[in-house]
Amino acid sequence: MRTRTLTALISLALLSACSGGNSASIPKFENVSVHDPSVIKVEDTYYVFGSHLASAKSKDLMSWTQISSGVTDDNVLIPNVTEELSETLSWAQSDTLWAPDVIQLADGKFYMYYDACRGDSPLSALGIAVADKVEGPYKNKGIILKSGMAGTGDDGEVYDATEKPNVVDPDVFYDKDGKLWMVYGSYSGGIFILELDPATGFPLADQGYGKKLLGANHARIEGPYMLYSPETDYYYLFLSYGGLDANGGYNIRVARSRNPDGPFEDSEGKAMIDARGTAGVLFDDPAYAPYGVKLMGNYEFVNSEEEPSASGAGYVSPGHNSAYYDEESGQYYLIFHTRFPYLGEKHEVRVHQMFMNEAGWPVVAPHRYSGEKIGKYSSKDVTGEYKYVNHGKDITAEIVESENIKLNTDGTISGTVTGTWILSEGHNAKLTINGTEYSGVFLREWNEAAASNVMTFTALSAEGISVWGSQVSPENK
């Protein structure tokens, strides 16, 4: 029976008691369900806002507290929401709200960009609600975009769902020069970007739906989120490909540009504007799967015969992420929702640390963030047996199960894949696996399922394929 992950959840406390470490060193996690979490930090607290008016907060990105959930009139974010947003819900023929974004503008107020969609069509509305405090209450300021109409769209042209946007999934951000932008879109005609008025938060005049960045013909690409890195001077556009449910093959990708409004490219230099579906074919995944750097998809770290059954861990359909860069520490965080192997549609928020590799692309730590900082490691630290995952480039509901490999003391890799490995500058990783070179980092972090600290690696190829390794926990070597 496939009970590894369920066993992991039940047995963690027992494993923690037997881990041999100081209990004070065991991270404390409190989990919440917020679909499509969009992050904002206010003073010393991180907040995530998601679909169905769900929200949560945390001071450490590990222990979360639920604030709200459900589009009901007693929701603290938007009291009397069915009346407050009646125009939006009526237009979208919906009784719920989809992925929002919250940003604090120069006036000190918090602007929530909310949206609703019928779901089986791009009949959607996107608007703004404003509050004095991040936890609300938010008051509606009105709809700024509509889509899915028969006839003329908001750009003055006949609305065509294969080329025009579905006006959902907004992310509002400042660029490095202080200009305010909104990137948005899901399936339908693709991902678009609009410039906003920083004084009001509303779109600047005469832009229509804005500029297309990628997508068309109902390509399964959505959830755009922009992150600027002062370290690399690139704008990173995160995207989710595939379907969001447990059988949808959701996966997280990224492209980059020197400009907030593009053009964006992937690690092979392919123009993301060409990432689009095929005319007349619904959800033609193979047409756009080659585009974008794939950071994470379905996977499971499978326990070896020597390990307890609670060692298994993995994700199913991770996606619709946001991201955060901490200027003080220089650390990057990826915040997303995910489902889990063999647990159906149950979903929770997860946070993983990210690092920039030598080519200036983000690589994602294999295990959830537990307060770790990257260190200086020796060859002795990184040699040993690993559970190895190659995330590939396809859009698939299949779960990639880890394979066993070994990083040997002579710099070779053996096991189900072969090659070489190099450690440099204390943590930089260069792995050549079956003839392909991958660049990333080594990182010691907490493996929650095994209740122990383990060495890991995360690395990316020039083709945009991510590989992860999680060392077999020391007591089970």
Comparing C-alpha atoms, which of 251, 223, 253 is closest to residue 101? 223
HSE, side-chain direction, 13 A CA sphere, residue 91: 24
Catalytic residue chosen out of the listed positions 101, 222, 266, 385 = 222
Q: Which two tokens stand for residue 418?
A: 């072969």
- Cα 183 to chain centroid distance, Å, stands at 15
3 state DSSP class of 84? helix
Tokens 């890195």, residue located: 229
Q: Which two tokens stand for residue 176?
A: 């490095």
In the 8-state DSSP scheme, what is residue 233?
T
Active site residue 154: no
DSSP string over 444-464: EEEETTTTEEEEEEEEEETTS
DSSP H stretches of helix in 248-350: 285-288
**What are the C-alpha distances in Å from 119 to residues 60, 90, 95, 258, 397?**
34, 13, 11, 34, 21
Q: Are 250 and 205 in contact (CB under 8 A)?
A: no
What residues have CB less than 8 Å from 121, skipping those under 6 apart?
Answer: 148, 161
Active site residue 385: no
CA dist 167 and 153 (Å) reads 11
Comparing C-alpha atoms, which of 353, 241, 349 is closest to residue 297? 241
Tokens 């997508």, residue located: 215
**What are the C-alpha distances in Å from 155 to residues 90, 152, 209, 469?**
21, 8, 6, 48
CA dist 91 and 255 (Å) reads 33
Catalytic residue chosen out of the listed positions 36, 307, 348, 448 = 36
Strand-by-strand arrangement of the 293-296 sheet: 221-229, 234-241, 251-257, 293-296
Which sequence positions are flagged as catalytic? Answer: 36, 222
